[in-house]
Copies of this chain bind each other. A is one copy, B any other.
């Protein structure tokens, strides 16, 4: 079974939701047969690359509240994070454009290191006051995740590398009806919106598992003589 998780490193509920999902997954009997893939979703794609802003004044402006009120709101998010076993800095974080992080997460997927890199990026952004809006920091995190430094630098230097993969994920999110993140899709049949309690994820996994009986496949190419196959009784001989 396959779970796709649309998320953004700049998204607090994605950080918390990932931990809650993992708790829900741990309680699921067939957890060893679940493949998890992370998909790209930018919360703020228009934010200029290379610039950052402090989170609290940004939130205050966005919601028309005082910086003090924004800080209280962030403290409530931090309490949710703590419940999920996560450290969360309610103050001192920055915000910026996440396109390059998404490109790098796609590269990490090709090397089997996507989950590692995402965990490190979340920790840097939310728990450690280490900005992820900086190319050198991304190189550092990627190497820590087990990726090759020269390859990582090449991906970051080439703005086209994995750019289509990021955009394709975002198109798919739209097709699937995701207006916000985190957004969880199970076998392209079941969806969970938001960082829900762990039990909701366990329930969704159980429902998707029970619904696994596949639709009949549409056969392309028929059983032409060129469709040479091997079965338990041997191989077709040309």
Query: Contact: A17 with B228, CB < 8 Å?
Result: yes
Q: Is A77 part of the binding interface, using a Cβ–Cβ cutoff of 8 Å?
A: yes
CB contact under 8 A between A33 and B191, given known A235-B11, A235-B13: no
A49 within 8 A of B: no
Residues of B within 8 A of A182 (CB): 229
The CB with the most chain B CB atoms within 10 A, among A16, A195, A227, is that of: A227
From B33, B190, B232, A168 is in contact (CB under 8 Å) with B33
Residue of B nearest to A2 (CB): B2
**Which stretch from A110-118, A122-130, A133-141 is at the chain B interface?**
A110-118
Q: Which of A32, A207, A223, A231 has the most B CB atoms < 10 Å from its CB?
A: A231
Query: Given A235-B11, A237-B76: A217 and B176 within 8 A (CB)?
Result: yes
CA distance A75 to B198 in the complex (A): 57
Q: Kindly state the separation between the CA atoms of A203 and B194 in the bound complex, as whole angstroms.
A: 37
CB distance from A231 to the nearest CB of B (A): 3
Chain B residues within an 8 Å CB radius of A176 = 214, 217
Copies of this chain per assembly: 2
Q: Would you call B43 and A231 a contact (CB within 8 A)? A: yes
Whose C-beta in chain B lies nearest to the C-beta of A228? Answer: B13
A192 at the interface (CB under 8 A from B): yes
Which residues of A, 17-59, contact B by the 8 Å Cβ criterion?
17, 32-33, 43-44, 59
Contact call B221/A200, Cβ cutoff below 8 A: yes
How many Å lie between the Cα of A113 and that of B113 in the bound state? 11
Q: Kindly state the separation between the CA atoms of A110 and B203 in the bound complex, as whole angstroms.
A: 26
Q: Which of B197, B213, B226, B235 contacts A12 (CB 8 A)?
A: B235
Q: Is A179 an interface residue (CB 8 A)?
A: yes
Q: Is the CB of B229 within 8 A of A193?
A: yes
11 sample A-B contacts, Cβ–Cβ < 8 Å, listed by A number: A77-B237, A80-B228, A175-B212, A176-B214, A180-B231, A181-B230, A190-B220, A193-B227, A195-B229, A196-B226, A197-B226
